[in-house]
Every structure is written in structure tokens, then in C-alpha cells.
Amino acid sequence: MKLPVTFCNEKRRRQASVLIIVLWVCIGLVSIALYFANQMTYELRASDNRASGLAADQAIEGAARYVALALQTYATNGAVPNNTQFSCEAVPVGDSRFWLIGRDPAGGDSTEPYFGLVDEGGKLNLNNVSTNMFQYLPNMTTDFADAIMDWRGTNGVVSLDYTSMGYLPKYAPFETVDELRLVYGSSEDLLVGEDVNRNGVLDKNEKDLNGNGTLDSGIFEDVTVYTREPNFHSDGTSLTNVNTASTGTMRTLLQGAGISTSYVPQLTQTNPSARTYRGLFAFALRCRNIGISADDFSRMAGDITTTTNLYLRNRVNVNTANVDVLIALFMGANIDESTAESAAQTLISYRQQNPNNLGSVAWIVDALGNNSPVVTALARGDWVTTRSYQFTADIAAVGPYGRGYRRVKFIFDMSDGTPKILYRQDLSRLGWALGEKAREQLLANNTQ
């Protein structure tokens, strides 16, 4: 029996409706499945990134222990380790890697970061250096130098209105360099200059504000609060005070260093109580003037002092100080700008060409000459040394596959003979600081 056409059409419509509904249900289920699959992909990536971040965190901790061992091995008795003595770049820790972001002691205008430790001893100490020296640092102003002195002083030196900032001056020594942010008149331009991520080079994403093609860093680069040089031997015994030592003691000192005792009368020609060597460099100059070589002087330099202070905090390591710090140091000692700049460049060049002749401050005399006004000025104070006991380890790390970037700065102190962490600061917020070369190498290694 043949069904009516109307009935057949109705049946087809119902079947078509069911098919459409089934298709929509299928599409909905597929959409839900794709949505959850996509979410799981994001969650997988997020978990992977978190795991990489944790791996980078552990690499940072491992790097800190590695630096402590390197300092224990190579930074004894005030020695400054260099990046040829231990690994500083892309050091593996499991599947992670770390770098020590440093500063090139030769200066220059490299576009890639230098890797190594940073010597805090080559900087000016915020708590001990005079305004005269601060005000000659690049980017510094006289007003801000006065404000620094006011902040660290026991009472107000200048009239500054902190009430609008909601706090009062500290009137106590600086505890960290970043405390400068609280000082009246501070700004990012003043403190960090063009080096926004504080890695020592002008990166592509950083603006060359004055268009000179080189990095102009801020005050942070040249100051510290951590320098402390022990005024005693590593075993705790006293150094020989050349201002009060007897003739017999001076003879023993020279004999122990393999220096002819014929120089003793010239070093003790005045009454011991009347000797006025203002600092180690003044005594070094006297020794050079009477014929004791820089090499000979370096053999006894670690055994002598001119003061009874337990620690010395205002000295700058001339073996590692950059040109800006040296210029500020010299101008603060009343040397004119032209002479200070020339002398600073001469010292930088000399230490590059004579890396094995820098055992004591006596090399300054060899580099500049006995009659240099800078030499005369430095002999009037106790401002220079060739020893350092505090170092910055600016550690950046990435986890597996170059993910999970982390960066932490540590300040290590060796003044008590063993490495101690004085301060740590997370700098990850400043962004990538390893340069383009490291980024390209990581990408190449993870795409092969």
C-alpha cells in the first residue's frame, strides 16, 4: 500500500530535524571538548612555566653557593677574583643555567653584558665619603649631594621639606644603596640613568637620552654602603703601625719582606710619636721616594697600617674603580677636572697593560710619577687601597628550555675571612638583562 505524499514529507522533516539536533549536539560537544583541551593546553604551559621558574629559583640558590665557594677559594686576604678563575656565563645547574652579570674592569661601550663579580670596593661609600667627592660623580648635583649628607647626618645640614613625602629624614647611616630613593630630590634618571635594567650596557629597549651612543649610568653604579676593610691580619693579629713602630720593629718588618734594612733610618728618621703618615699611600710614596720598588713595597703592604681603627670604610680600590669614581675621588681631593680626568685615564691604561704589577697602592706612583699633583693629593688622606672584601653577585638564571627567568642580586662580605651574604634583592622585575647574544643562544639550543 502506497503511503500518502504528505505523510512521507512529514517523516522526512522529522528525520531531518533529528539530524540537525544531533549535529548541533555534536558540534556543542566538540566545542566543549576543544574548549577544555585548549584550557588544558594553557594549564600545561602555565604549569611548565611555573616548574621552569622553580628550577630557575633553585639555580639562583645553587649559584649563590657556587659564588661563596669561589670567594672562599680566590678572594682571600683582600684579593679580587676575576672571571678567568671560575665560570660566570651560562653555568649549568641540572637543566637550568645561570649567569653572573658584572662590569668590565676595562670599561668600554660593549653592547653585551660582561659576566663576573662586581667589586664593591671600587665604589664610593655613601656613609663615609665627603660631599666633595660625591658631587663630582656623573649625573650628581650639588643639591642632591647635600641631601645625601643631610639624610645620613645626626641632624639636619640643609633645610629640606620631607613633610610632603609623608616621612622624615633618617639622620642615620645608609643601610642599602636603594635607600637613596628616599632622599629628597631623587629620581630614576638621577639614580639609574639610561641603564633601566641595571646590567651595565645600553640595551636595544633602553633610550640613549643624550644621543651620544654610549651608556650613561646613574649614581647607583658608583656608590656602595658595604665596604669594610679589616685593619688586622686574617688570624686576628695586629698590623705594624708605621706611625708608631720602633726602629727594631721596622727592621723586622723589612727583613720579613726581603727588603734591605738600610732603608730603616730613612723611614724612622723622626720621632715615632711625631710621624704623620695620613694613610697607606703616604707611606708608600715615602718608600718609593727613598728607592723601595713597588714590588718590594707590595710584599710588606699587607702587614702595615697607619691607624688603630679596627676597620677602614672610606678607601676605594684603585685596581677596580671605574674612571668616573677615580675622577670623583681625585677632584674631591682638590684636583682640577682636567688633571683628574687625565690621571684617571692613565691609571686605567696602566692597570690594563700591567695586570701583574698591581700588588699595592705603590703602583700609582709608577703610573703617574712622584711629582704628579694627584699623587701629592692622595698622600694627604687615606683614600686608596688594592684590597676588597665585599662583592656583588648579580645572578640571573633560566630554567629548562630557557624559561622561567629569574634575577637576584647578592652582596657577599669576606671581611671576617668567610663569605657571608649581607643583602639580597630580587631584580627580576627589571626584565631581561642578559643581552641579545644569550637570548639567541638559548633560542638556538632549544629549537635544534
Element (H, E) at 393: strand 390-398
Q: How far apart are CA 103 and CA 117, in angstroms?
A: 8
pLDDT top residue among 343 and 214: 343
Q: How far apart are CA 389 and CA 117, in angstroms?
A: 12
Q: Categorize the per-residue pLDDT at 4 as very low, low, confident or very high, splitting at 50, 70 and 90.
A: low
**Looking at residue 168, what is its pLDDT?**
86
Q: How far apart are CA 345 and CA 324, in angstroms?
A: 10
391: exposed, middle or buried (C-beta count within 10 Å: 0-12, 13-18, 19+)?
buried
Query: What is this structure's pTM?
Result: 0.88
C-alpha cell at 378: 692622595
- Cα dihedral 180→182→186→187 (10° resolution): 100
Tally Cβ neighbours within 10 Å of residue 249.
16
Angle of helix 294-301 relative to helix 280-289, nearest 10 degrees, comes to 140
Residue with cell string 713595597? 297
* Statement: residue 273 has pLDDT above 60: no
User: Of 198, 204, 207, 174, which is closest to residue 426 (Cα–Cα)?
Assistant: 198
Element (H, E) at 396: strand 390-398
161: exposed, middle or buried (C-beta count within 10 Å: 0-12, 13-18, 19+)?
exposed
DSSP 86: S
pLDDT tens digits, 103-125: 988 776 778 999 999 999 999 99
C-alpha cell at 94: 641540572
Helix (H, G, I), strand (E, B) or coil at 420: strand
The values of phi and psi at residue 76, to 5°, are: -80, 145
pLDDT tens digits, 372-431: 999 999 999 999 999 999 999 999 999 998 889 999 999 999 999 999 999 999 999 999
Question: Could you tell me where the beta strands, DSSP code E, fall in 76-184?
Answer: 91-93, 96-102, 114-115, 118-119, 124-125
Tally Cβ neighbours within 10 Å of residue 214.
12
pLDDT tens digits, 63-93: 999 999 999 999 999 999 988 999 999 999 9
Q: Categorize the per-residue pLDDT at 38 as very low, low, confident or very high, splitting at 50, 70 and 90.
A: confident
